[in-house]
Structure 1
Amino acid sequence: MSDAWWLALGLVLVFEGFLPLVSPRGWRHVFSQILQLQDGQIRFFGLMSVAFGLLVVWFFA
């Protein structure tokens, strides 16, 4: 993999680990709320996340 892919992976891990690091109780609360969502709602949030990520990559690339 190129250096950019490793950098991107590292940044994802930093962002994903930040909330459980600073607020484990808040992270559990958010996670329990996510578990109550319907599949369609989770897919919608996933779609928005992918679309936003692609927009950021397109804008900065």
Structure 2
Amino acid sequence: MGDFLAALGLVLVIEGLVYGGMPGLAKRLAEQVLEMPDSALRTAGITAMMLGVFLVWLVRG
């Protein structure tokens, strides 16, 4: 559970950096996401999940 909370905290830090440090970039990215087809978003999401699982497996091995 501790690892999960640490990972969640890291995600919040990264998102905070984007929204707090570069709000203009965050808005442009949100606009681009709205224009993307569902299939592209699904592919990107599944790829990100697979990469995340691989990284956790690699680190926690």
TM-score, normalised to structure 1, is 0.90
Query: Pairwise CA RMSD of aligned residues?
Result: 0.9
Deviation at 1:35, TM superposition (A): 0.6
Q: Which segment drifts farther, 47-56 or 9-18?
A: 9-18
TM-score, normalised to structure 2, is 0.90
Which whole-Å CA distance do the structure 1 matches of 2:5 and 2:14 have between them? 14
Number of residues paired by the alignment?
Answer: 60
Q: Is 2:54 the partner of 1:55?
A: yes
Alignment of 1:1-61 (within 5 A): 2-61=1-60
Which whole-Å CA distance do the structure 1 matches of 2:39 and 2:13 have between them? 28
In the alignment, structure 1 segments of 5+ residues that lack a partner are none
Which residue identity lines up with residue 23 of structure 1 in the other structure?
M
In the alignment, structure 2 segments of 5+ residues that lack a partner are none
